[in-house]
């Protein structure tokens, strides 16, 4: 009788444990932030764009590969990529190609930026990206924030590549330069395209910035008042979602 009772309760225990084991073996349920189904590999939609994935490499203001960038690719929402294809066709007809540094940025990458910003001892890339700004002021001046429009998937950092010279168009400053020189209104009025001078960028450099800006605005993008290279799709599809999936080639 004791042996029968032992076997009975052992069987009951196994039966009760089966659902628990099955649940543990299941993949974790995806949250909206993990869902990449609304995104595309930018090169698939805009094949003429030159990709220079700055945060996969080490030439960036952090000086290291940034968390969440697993491959040197650029991801973008379907809607934003379609609009960017129109921009690409526009500038290509004028002898230029788009050169893209970054678009979708996972939240873990933004978190990496925040940790880096708080580590005041790390000034490795200061001579290249923020020589005139004290690192302790980067948050206060809005260069680093805990949330980024890039993480919603419809913001992009880019410039123009001149097909005639085989070089980037001279914009009078580099991508991710922390300083007033990066503001679109530095040296002129971006709304009218008028160059006012009295600054470190030339009229030609200001005009080059305006070529990019005007092309982006013509096709549904809006500018950012602190960075000449940053634009966002006006009607972004995920205005309230900050995505977490990593940057790597999407398999469809």
Q: Which of 52, 79, 168, 227 is catalytic?
A: 227
Q: What's the chain look like in SS3?
A: CHHHHHHHHHHHHHHHHHHHHHHHHCCCCCCHHHCCCCEEEHHHHCCCCEECCCCCCCCCCCCCCCCCECCCCCEEEHHHHHHHHHHHHHHHCCCEEEEEEECCCCHHHHHHHHHHHHCCCCCCCHHHHCCCCCHHHCCCCCCCCCCCHHHHCCEEEEEEEECCCCEECCCCCCCCCCCHHHCCCCCEECCCCEECCCCCCCHHHHHHHHHHHHHHHHCCEEEECCEEEEEEECCCCCCCCCCCCCECCCCC
227 is catalytic: yes
**Residues with a known catalytic role:** 227
């Amino acid at each position: 009788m004791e042996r029968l009772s032992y076997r009975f309760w052992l069987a009951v225990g196994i039966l009760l444990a089966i659902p628990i084991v099955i649940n543990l073996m299941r993949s974790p349920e995806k949250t909206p932030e993990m869902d990449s189904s609304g995104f595309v590999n930018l090169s698939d939609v805009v094949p003429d764009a030159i990709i220079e994935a700055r945060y996969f490499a080490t030439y960036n203001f952090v000086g290291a590969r940034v968390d969440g960038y697993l491959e040197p690719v650029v991801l973008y929402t379907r809607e934003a990529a379609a609009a960017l294809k129109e921009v690409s066709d526009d500038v290509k007809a004028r002898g230029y190609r788009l050169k893209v540094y970054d678009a979708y940025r996972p939240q873990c990458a933004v978190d990496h930026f925040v940790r880096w910003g708080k580590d005041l001892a790390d000034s490795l890339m200061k001579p290249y990206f923020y020589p005139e700004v004290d690192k302790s002021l980067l948050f206060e001046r809005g260069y680093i924030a805990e949330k980024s429009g890039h993480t919603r998937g419809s913001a992009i950092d880019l410039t123009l590549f001149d097909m005639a010279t085989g070089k980037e168009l001279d914009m009078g400053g580099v991508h991710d330069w922390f300083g007033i020189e990066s503001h679109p209104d530095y040296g002129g009025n971006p709304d009218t395209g008028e160059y006012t001078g009295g600054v470190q960028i030339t009229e030609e450099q200001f005009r080059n910035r305006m070529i990019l800006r005007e092309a982006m605005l013509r096709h549904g993008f809006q500018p950012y008042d602190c960075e000449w290279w940053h634009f966002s799709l006006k009607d972004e599809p995920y205005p309230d979602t900050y995505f977490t999936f990593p940057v790597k080639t999407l398999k469809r």
